[in-house]
Amino acid sequence: MGTSEKTPARFGLDSQKPIQLTPCLLIFSLWATIPCLHKSDSTTQQAEQSRQQLHGILMQAPAMICIFEGPQHVFKLVNPPYQRLEGERPLLGRPIAEAIPEQPG
Are 81 and 63 in contact by the 8 Å Cβ rule? The answer is yes
Q: What is the pLDDT of residue 79?
A: 94
Taking a C-beta distance cutoff of 8 angstroms, is the pair 94, 86 a contact?
A: no
The predicted pLDDT at position 65 comes to 92
pLDDT of residue 34: 54
Task: Give me the percent of the chain exceeding a pLDDT of 70.
Answer: 61
Instruction: Domain count for the chain, please give it.
Output: 2
Q: Say yes or no to pLDDT of 10 above 50.
A: no
* pLDDT exceeds 60 at position 33: no
Is residue 43 located within the same domain as residue 28? yes
What is the arithmetic mean of pLDDT over 56-63?
92
pTM of the model: 0.60
Task: For residues 43 and 76, state if they share a domain.
Answer: no
On whether the CB atoms of residues 34 and 50 are closer than 8 A, the answer is yes
Domain of residue 29, residue span: 22-60
**Which residue in 26, 44, 24, 28 sits closest to 36, CA to CA?**
44
Helix (H, G, I), strand (E, B) or coil at 31: helix
Contact 89, 98 (CB under 8 A): no
The predicted pLDDT at position 96 comes to: 92
